[in-house]
């Protein structure tokens, strides 16, 4: 649910796979990728064009990041998740994400939104040729898809890493088998578990929806409560396990951890805050597997990469790795 920011990590650091500095000791059974979030970041950091002036930097950066994560985290399978066909949140709160433009531009006039729009179909085709599963939902966000798919895998005792720079995804760490991984500005990996979530956000993952509902989230156009910032929100939530408890406290005054003015502000905004929390909270959802999903087609993938001018990924080593990421769990044995 986060917006793309201009200071995103330079994924170009991942260009040479043997030069990624951090070789993590963490290993996971599955890697779930926030498709659009990662494509935006890759497109912003890699603005290269083909000889036909077709933007392909996002595709290149995205696949390079997958290769680095596949190697460093030892994930047997990688799956990519995308936005839903619809999103119930817009009906619940019409102003949701209403402050977003199509995409950021830099000083040269590079239109990241347009670059992503043109590259997403290309990327999805390449992922299908590599045999990498792609998921979406009929009504919801990519965040919900990541959460629901992660819960499915964790229910079987499998460990899951979610590759995303969206802090809303920290909610997945309520499950001890699920973590979030991301890169910093230097291109180094960071693993976010429950403990790291509490350190960064001032509360456990279960409280993220309440904290954001109170403090607001400008990237999603959620106003929150006037005068309540992240630190105050965290302080107010300390005595409470849920937003409903806090709102009850604002009505009665019992176990209220803030000032009288803050109590009045929260009490007056109770109805809106409840809606905001519902919007921020990740939801279980119906999952749809991309109909294009099939066994890896190595020769076709190589030809497609060469046609796009992404020659370094069309070499035998990266090509073999890309075709190994999907596994065969969703197919059964090939006959």
Dump strand ranges (E) for the chain: 30-34, 77-81, 133-136, 160-163, 178-183, 189-192, 288-289
CB 199 within 8 A of CB 229: no
Q: What is the DSSP letter of 85?
A: S
CB 55 within 8 A of CB 61: no
Residue 5's pLDDT is 31
CB 292 within 8 A of CB 126: no
Residue 107's pLDDT is 62
Tokens of 271: 């109805």
Residue 15's pLDDT is 40
Residue with tokens 């993220």: 208
Residues 214 and 104 in one domain: no
Residue 22's φ and ψ, nearest 5 degrees, are -100, 120
pLDDT tens across 179-197, in order?
999 998 888 999 999 999 9
Q: How confident is the model at residue 74 (pLDDT cuts 50, 70, 90)?
A: confident
pLDDT tens across 16-28, in order?
333 333 445 589 9
Q: How confident is the model at residue 8 (pLDDT cuts 50, 70, 90)?
A: very low
Residue 18's pLDDT is 38
Residues 56 and 142 in one domain: yes
Residue 110's pLDDT is 78
pLDDT tens across 80-112, in order?
999 988 999 999 999 999 987 666 666 667 788
Q: How confident is the model at residue 76 (pLDDT cuts 50, 70, 90)?
A: confident
Instruction: Report if residue 335 sits inside a domain.
Output: no
Residues 45 and 146 in one domain: yes
pLDDT tens across 239-261, in order?
999 999 999 999 999 999 999 99
Q: Smallest Cα–Cα separation from 212: which of 149, 148, 167?
A: 167
Is the pLDDT at 157 greater than 80? The verdict is yes
Q: Smallest Cα–Cα separation from 44: which of 107, 132, 99, 135?
A: 107
Residue 11's pLDDT is 33
pTM for this prediction:
0.89
Tokens of 288: 């749809």
Helix (H, G, I), strand (E, B) or coil at 301: helix
At 217, which CATH number?
A: 1.10.150.20
- Number of domains composing the chain: 2
* Cα Rg, the chain, nearest whole Å: 21
Residues 79 and 15 in one domain: yes
Residues 60 and 158 in one domain: yes
Residues 309 and 235 in one domain: no
The arrangement of strands across the sheet holding 160-163 comes to: 189-192, 178-183, 160-163, 30-34, 77-81, 133-136, 288-289
CB 81 within 8 A of CB 140: no
Is the pLDDT at 201 greater than 60? The verdict is yes
Domain of residue 261, residue span: 205-280
Average pLDDT, the chain: 89
Q: Smallest Cα–Cα separation from 142: which of 29, 287, 325, 44?
A: 287
Helix (H, G, I), strand (E, B) or coil at 53: coil
Q: What is the DSSP letter of 2?
A: P
Instruction: Report if residue 243 sits inside a domain.
Output: yes
Distance between CA 28 and CA 192 in Å, rounded?
A: 13
Residue with tokens 């433009």: 101
């Amino acid at each position: 649910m986060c917006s793309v920011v201009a200071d995103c990590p330079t994924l170009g650091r991942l260009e040479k796979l043997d030069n990624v500095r951090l070789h993590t000791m963490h290993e996971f059974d599955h890697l779930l990728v926030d498709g659009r979030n990662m494509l935006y970041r890759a497109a912003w950091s890699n603005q290269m064009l083909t000889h036909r002036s077709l933007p392909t930097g996002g595709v290149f950066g995205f696949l390079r990041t997958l290769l680095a994560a596949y190697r460093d985290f030892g994930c047997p399978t990688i799956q990519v998740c995308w936005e839903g066909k619809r999103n119930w949140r817009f009906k619940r709160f019409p102003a949701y994400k209403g402050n977003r433009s199509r995409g950021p531009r830099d000083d040269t006039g590079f239109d990241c939104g347009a670059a992503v729009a043109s590259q997403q179909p290309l990327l999805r085709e390449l992922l299908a040729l590599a045999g990498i599963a792609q998921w979406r939902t009929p009504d919801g966000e990519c965040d919900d898809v990541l959460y629901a798919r992660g819960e499915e895998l964790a229910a079987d005792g499998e460990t899951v890493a979610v590759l995303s720079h969206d802090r809303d995804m920290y909610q997945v760490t309520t499950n001890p088998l699920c973590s979030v991984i991301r890169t910093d500005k230097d291109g180094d990996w960071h693993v976010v578990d429950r403990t790291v979530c509490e350190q960064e956000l001032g509360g456990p993952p279960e409280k993220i929806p309440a904290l954001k509902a109170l403090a607001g989230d400008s990237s999603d156009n959620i106003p929150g409560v006037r005068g309540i910032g992240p630190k105050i929100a965290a302080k107010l939530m300390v005595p409470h396990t849920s937003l409903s408890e806090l709102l009850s406290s604002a009505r009665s005054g019992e176990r209220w951890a803030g000032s009288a003015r803050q109590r009045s502000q929260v009490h007056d905004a109770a109805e809106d805050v409840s809606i905001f929390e519902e919007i921020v909270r990740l939801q279980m959802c119906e999952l749809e597997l991309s109909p294009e999903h099939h066994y890896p087609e190595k020769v076709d993938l190589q030809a497609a990469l060469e046609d796009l001018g992404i020659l370094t990924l069309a070499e035998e080593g990266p090509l073999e790795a890309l075709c190994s990421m999907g596994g065969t769990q969703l197919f059964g044995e090939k006959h």
